């Protein structure tokens, strides 16, 4: 996530997930890590990964193999993912991670109890990357707690993992043994995975969703679960999606954000806790150029380097319980250019390649090398 100078730097944070780049730091200060060439940063429930060039490094919880270094131990400093030197994109689920390699193949590591790694062996976890069976020419990935999806160069989407709510789009709630295409879906340009639902952006800039719909997170003006894609009501000109546990948000071409689904933790940035089964604009968020969601929080990065967040994890992300709407994440640092949102932590990459992470640190997910790990929170809004 991004931090702004206490006096004149502001970062807007919408509940998001950081996409990260890799590389080991030369300089470490409390919560700060200077890493040259960070291309992407992502965050899972309690771990963080970075991509720099083709290399990927991770820190934090390693119990399920999330760090990909061949071990199952927590690490407070970034360690290299084994055998991955040509990654072009990475994604973090709850307790697993995946990467696209230069040849378009997909490789995953971490927890695999529900087949979310898509690998041929039935092991419950992998501590090093394994190739996803039958998936080639991938252009984009999305990962949740129990399932994973990929966009393919021909415009189709493939999903694998748990399917108890129809979140893989197979047309049923039967478990799938291997990655399979989402039925009747083409022209896909991007995909986002929530708790038990999935949404895809099509080339016409419209959105379809499928899976669990108990809070209206599919956006079709109902609360009926769907095992195949249905259109989101009244939503056009979408350029990016971000799905949380039971809500979904979209960034539009005019750089505003709309959300739908559960509002029990303020996910819609509206007073009260009532769910909404159709999109509505998030107040106060403009100029958005990136969007991330994780669990019950969402964050947005604006063109001026601000990060704005709304939803859960108020204290960790600098919010206040009496301020349910979006708040600006503040910290004495330079402007942000990228960010990632984890289960209870946020990371920002500044224009000067400084990685700043705040929030829960019990597993070392802040990547600051502190021993024992020290939790760190953003300053609250004035």
**At 164, is the secondary structure helix, strand, or coil?**
coil
What confidence score (pLDDT) does residue 371 get? Answer: 75
Task: Please check whether residue 274 is in contact with residue 260, taking contact to mean a CB–CB distance below 8 angstroms.
Answer: no
**At 89, is the secondary structure helix, strand, or coil?**
strand
Both tokens assigned to 47? 């771990």
Give the Cβ contact number of residue 338 at 10 Å.
25
Residue 253 and residue 56: Cα distance in Å, rounded? 31
Both tokens assigned to 48? 């963080």
- DSSP characters over 134-152: T--SEEEEEE-SSEEEEEE
Residue 192 and residue 51: Cα distance in Å, rounded? 20
Q: Hey, where are the domains in the chain?
A: 22-280
Give the Cβ contact number of residue 8 at 10 Å.
6
Residue 251 and residue 80: Cα distance in Å, rounded? 33
What is the layout of strands, in order, in the sheet containing 125-131? 87-92, 96-101, 106-111, 125-131
Give the Cβ contact number of residue 150 at 10 Å.
28
Question: What's the pTM value of the predicted model, to 2 decimals?
Answer: 0.89
Q: Tell me the fold of 22-280.
A: Methylamine Dehydrogenase; Chain H (2.130.10)
Torsion 125-139-308-75 (CA) sign: positive
**Regions in the chain scoring below 50 on pLDDT:** 1-32, 332
Both tokens assigned to 316? 């960790």
CA distances, 360 to each of 60, 63, 70, 74, 216 (Å): 11, 17, 24, 14, 30
**At 353, is the secondary structure helix, strand, or coil?**
coil
Local structure of residue 365 (DSSP, 8 states):
T
* Residue given tokens 């991955």 in the structure block: 84
What confidence score (pLDDT) does residue 21 get? Answer: 31
Task: Please check whether residue 42 is in contact with residue 344, taking contact to mean a CB–CB distance below 8 angstroms.
Answer: no
């Amino acid at each position: 996530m991004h931090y702004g100078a206490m006096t004149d730097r502001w970062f807007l944070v919408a509940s998001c997930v950081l996409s990260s780049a890799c590389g080991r730091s030369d300089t470490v200060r409390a919560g700060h890590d200077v890493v040259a060439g960070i291309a992407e940063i992502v965050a899972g429930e309690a771990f963080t990964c970075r991509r720099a060039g083709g290399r990927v490094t991770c820190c934090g919880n390693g119990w399920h193999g999330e760090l990909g270094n061949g071990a199952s131990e927590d690490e407070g400093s970034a360690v290299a993912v084994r055998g991955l030197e040509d990654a072009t994109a990475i994604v973090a689920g709850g307790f697993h991670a995946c990467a696209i390699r230069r040849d378009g193949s997909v490789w995953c590591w971490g927890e695999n109890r529900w087949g979310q790694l898509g690998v041929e062996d039935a092991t419950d976890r992998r501590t090093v990357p394994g190739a996803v069976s039958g998936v080639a020419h991938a252009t984009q990935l999305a990962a949740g707690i129990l399932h994973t999806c990929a966009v393919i160069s021909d415009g189709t989407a493939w999903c694998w993992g748990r399917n108890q709510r129809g979140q893989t789009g197979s047309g049923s709630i039967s478990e799938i043994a291997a990655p399979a295409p989402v039925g009747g879906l083409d022209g896909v340009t991007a995909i986002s995975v929530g708790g038990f639902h999935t949404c895809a952006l099509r080339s016409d800039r419209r959105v379809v969703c499928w899976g669990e719909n108990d809070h209206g997170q599919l956006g079709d003006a109902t609360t009926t679960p769907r095992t195949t894609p249905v259109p989101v009501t009244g939503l056009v000109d979408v350029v990016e999606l971000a799905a949380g546990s039971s809500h979904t948000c979209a960034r539009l071409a005019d750089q505003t954000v709309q959300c739908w689904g559960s509002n029990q933790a303020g996910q819609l940035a509206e007073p009260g806790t009532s769910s909404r089964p159709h999109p509505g604009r998030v107040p106060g968020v403009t100029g958005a150029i990136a969007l991330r969601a994780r669990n019950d929080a969402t964050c947005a990065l604006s063109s001026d380097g601000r990060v704005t967040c709304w939803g859960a994890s108020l204290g960790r992300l600098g919010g206040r319980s009496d301020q349910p709407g979006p708040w600006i994440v503040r910290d004495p640092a330079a402007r942000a250019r990228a960010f990632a949102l984890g289960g209870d932590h946020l990371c920002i990459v500044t224009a000067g390649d400084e990685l700043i992470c705040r929030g829960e640190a019990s597993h070392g997910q802040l990547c600051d090398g502190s021993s024992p790990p020290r939790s760190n929170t953003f300053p609250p809004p004035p």
